[in-house]
């Protein structure tokens, strides 16, 4: 036996051919890590001008130049864009102005996942964070409604109920809270999405910090409430690379008709065992499964493959990621223990990235029926770079197409059954989308009943 001592390395011949398949696996995982939309906050931090600004600009421009999957830039003259924006760097007085400039340049691409992401220290406000009140808000037509209250949460204890309309948080009105987004350089379509994310972040409050919120209960006078959000480490995901830890929600329940309802807000690895257990547990018990991906911001793309494997009888392709040179497919491989009954997926304009990949892939495969609103249409795999200015630069490196070649970006996933909740529905606390999905499962209108 030849033994090469500690720190010794392998002969080149082996290294050349080894890890051949491993490289592809890594590629699939790395690109799939960041099928997620992070909270964007217009920057308020101030740094001195200087080389950091110019370097930041050059990194952003060059990165796009080198990694954008379509070398023709979809007809956009990327060199001309540089000439247009580069002279403006010297005029940026602070980081906020630089950020706006860079974001404006990226907006020329008219695609998602090209973002300048501020660090948390440059938030829009000084409101406490890190707690969990248990409230989920939905911003519709300039108003924010409570659509969900977690059981046993601080909000439930405070008596806040589904259907209430938010007046203010910490005495700051909803209108004022969302103004920076309204005025931001974000594309119009993304504003509402990020308003939703922002309001839902602020309403969680700080750990053990009293949170005042004012509400309009339906047909009642305005009401002020106080609650003390808590902290629970179990509600936080681990970070994966530069993707920070996220607050995760998971809900699973059976209704009186044995329909299993599963909802989660983020595709994080730590949830996979729980999801698997829920789906496998439905075998022989549930008349159908409803997977609620509304306001789900995406996450690890390979989780869509994992969930698919629990629902299909044969290898199922969810779509292809087209890169600068080549492509990668994501598949679900049928697992020995899998659920064969009817499955409904719920989506809305807050369903993004991996949510869209899962919904679209299974929809095209004919395995699920999709209910709700057209999804946001942001499904590009992206990576991150830290800029000398201190901000994170998120950049897409590929385009996602469904197996039939449908492009999700900009268009979104179109539900089989389009349902737009009205203000009246929201105020009444009626989830019409969920109701219709249940009805589909129970009325036997689906073609999957026999396998249940």
Partner 1 sequence: MSPLRESVFRLLLWCFLGTQCVLGMELPTVAVVIDRYLESQGGANALNDLRSLKVVGEITIESQGLEFEVSQQVVAPDKSFTEQDFPGLGLIREVLNGERGWEWHPITGERPLEAHEIEDKTQETDLQRDLRLFELYETIELGEPEVIEGIETTQLVFTDFKGKTEQWFFKANGDLLQKIHTVSSGPDSVFESTDRFYDFQEIGRFRYPSRIKFINPSYVAELKITSCDINLEIDPAVFELPVLILE
Q: How far is the CB of 294 from partner 1 (least distance, A)?
A: 23
Should residue 332 be labelled a site residue for partner 1 when binding is judged by CB under 8 A? yes
Should residue 326 be labelled a site residue for partner 1 when binding is judged by CB under 8 A? yes
Should residue 384 be labelled a site residue for partner 1 when binding is judged by CB under 8 A? yes
Should residue 305 be labelled a site residue for partner 1 when binding is judged by CB under 8 A? yes
Should residue 24 be labelled a site residue for partner 1 when binding is judged by CB under 8 A? yes
Any bridge partners for residue 331, and if so which?
317
Among 335, 340, 417, 436, binds partner 1 (CB under 8 A): 335
Site for partner 1 in 282-301 (CB under 8 A): 300
What are the two backbone dihedrals, phi and then psi, of residue 317, each rounded to the nearest 5 degrees? -85, 130
Among 209, 327, 432, 436, binds partner 1 (CB under 8 A): 327
Piece in contact with partner 1 (CB under 8 A), picked from 106-114, 126-134, 234-242, 282-290: 234-242
Among 67, 119, 274, 436, binds partner 1 (CB under 8 A): 67
Q: Which residues contact 416 (CB under 8 A, 6 or more apart)?
A: 363, 369, 370, 371
Piece in contact with partner 1 (CB under 8 A), picked from 83-91, 92-100, 306-314, 439-447: 306-314
- Asked whether the beta carbons of 249 and 150 are under 8 A apart, the reply is yes
Should residue 75 be labelled a site residue for partner 1 when binding is judged by CB under 8 A? no
Piece in contact with partner 1 (CB under 8 A), picked from 89-97, 209-217, 239-247, 405-413: 239-247
- The distance of Cα 390 from the centroid of its chain, to the nearest Å, equals 23
Q: What's the order of all strands across the beta sheet hosting 392-396?
A: 115-117, 392-396, 382-386
How would you class 244 by CB atoms within 10 Å of its CB: exposed for 0-12, middle for 13-18, buried for 19 or more? middle
Nearer to partner 1, 349 or 354 (CB): 354
What is the bridge-based pairing of β-strands 326-332 and 316-323?
antiparallel
Interatomic CA distance for residues 110 and 355, integer angstroms:
21
3-state secondary structure of 88: helix
Tokens representing 241? 């690379």
**Where do contacts with partner 1 occur on this chain (CB under 8 A)?**
1-27, 29-31, 33, 66-67, 238-242, 268-270, 272, 276, 300, 302-303, 305-306, 309-310, 317, 323-329, 331-333, 335-336, 383-385, 397-398
């Amino acid at each position: 036996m030849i033994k090469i001592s500690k720190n010794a390395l392998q002969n080149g011949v082996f290294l050349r051919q080894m890890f051949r398949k491993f490289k592809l696996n890594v590629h699939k995982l790395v690109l799939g890590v960041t099928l997620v939309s992070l909270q964007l906050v217009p920057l308020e931090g101030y740094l001195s001008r200087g080389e950091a600004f110019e370097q930041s600009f050059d990194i952003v421009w060059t990165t796009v130049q080198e990694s954008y999957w379509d070398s023709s830039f979809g007809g956009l003259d990327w060199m001309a864009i540089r000439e247009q924006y580069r002279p403006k760097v010297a005029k940026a007085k602070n980081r906020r102005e630089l950020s706006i400039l860079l974001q404006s340049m990226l907006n020329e691409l008219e695609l998602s996942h090209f973002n300048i992401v501020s660090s948390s220290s440059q938030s829009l406000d000084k409101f406490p964070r890190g707690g969990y009140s248990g409230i989920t808000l939905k911003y519709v037509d300039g108003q924010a409604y409570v659509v969900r209250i977690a059981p046993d949460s601080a909000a439930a204890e405070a008596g806040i109920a589904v259907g209430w309309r938010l007046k203010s948080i910490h005495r700051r009105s909803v209108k004022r809270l969302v103004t920076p987004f309204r005025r931001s350089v974000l594309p119009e379509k993304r504003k509402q999405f990020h308003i939703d994310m922002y309001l839902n972040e602020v309403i969680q409050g700080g750990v053990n910090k009293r949170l005042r919120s004012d509400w309009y209960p339906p047909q009642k006078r305005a009401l002020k409430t106080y609650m003390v959000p808590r902290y629970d480490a179990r509600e936080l995901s681990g970070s994966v690379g530069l993707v920070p830890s996220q607050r995760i929600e998971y809900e699973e329940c059976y209704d009186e008709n044995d329909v299993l309802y599963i909802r989660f807000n983020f595709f994080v690895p730590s949830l996979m065992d729980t999801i698997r257990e829920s789906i496998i547990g439905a075998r022989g018990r549930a008349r159908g499964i409803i997977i609620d991906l509304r306001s789900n911001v995406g996450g690890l793309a390979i989780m869509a493959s994992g969930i698919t494997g629990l629902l299909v009888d044969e290898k199922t392709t969810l779509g292809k990621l087209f890169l600068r040179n080549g492509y990668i497919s994501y598949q679900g491989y049928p697992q020995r223990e899998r659920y064969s009954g009817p499955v409904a997926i719920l989506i809305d304009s807050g369903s993004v990235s991996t949510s869209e990949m899962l919904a679209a892939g299974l929809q095209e495969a004919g395995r699920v029926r999709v209910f709700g609103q057209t999804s946001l249409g942001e499904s590009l795999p992206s990576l991150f770079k830290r800029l000398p200015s201190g901000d994170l630069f998120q950049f897409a490196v590929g385009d996602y197409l469904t197996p039939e070649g449908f492009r999700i970006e900009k268009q979104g996933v179109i539900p089989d059954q389009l349902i737009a909740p009205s203000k009246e529905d929201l105020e009444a606390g009626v989830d019409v989308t969920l109701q219709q999905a249940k009805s589909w499962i129970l009325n036997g209108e689906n073609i999957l009943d026999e396998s249940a």
